[in-house]
Chain A
Amino acid sequence: EAQVTQNPRYLITVTGKKLTVTCSQNMNHEYMSWYRQDPGLGLRQIYYSMNVEVTDKGDVPEGYKVSRKEKRNFPLILESPSPNQTSLYFCASSTGFGTDTQYFGPGTRLTVL
Chain B
Amino acid sequence: GQSLEQPSEVTAVEGAIVQINCTYQTSGFYGLSWYQQHDGGAPTFLSYNALDGLEETGRFSSFLSRSDSYGYLLLQELQMKDSASYFCAVRDWRSGSARQLTFGSGTQLTVLP
Contact = CB atoms under 8 A, between A and B. Distances in A.
Contacts of B87: 42-43
A24 to B, nearest CB: 15
Contacts of A43: 43, 87, 89, 103
Given A40-B105, A42-B103, A101 B48 contact: yes
Chain B residues touching A, majority SS: strand
Contacts, number: 58
Interface stretch (B10-18, B63-71, B72-80, B94-102): B94-102
B99 A105 contact: no
A90 B43 contact: yes
Contact of A99 (B41, B45, B97, B100): B45
Interface in A79-113: 90, 94, 96, 99-107
A104 B36 CA distance: 11
A44 interface: yes
Interface residues on B, range: 20 to 34
A102 B105 contact: no
Contacts of B102: 45, 59
Interface in A25-61: 31, 33, 35, 40-45, 48, 50, 56, 58-59
Contact of A50 (B89, B97, B106): B97
Contact of A106 (B31, B33, B42, B104): B42
Given A42-B87, A90-B42, A100 B97 contact: no
B96 to A, nearest CB: 10
A108 B103 CA distance: 19
Interface of A: 31, 33, 35, 40-45, 48, 50, 56, 58-59, 90, 94, 96, 99-107
14 contacts: A35-B103, A40-B105, A43-B43, A43-B89, A44-B103, A48-B99, A50-B97, A99-B31, A100-B91, A101-B48, A102-B35, A102-B45, A104-B44, A107-B41
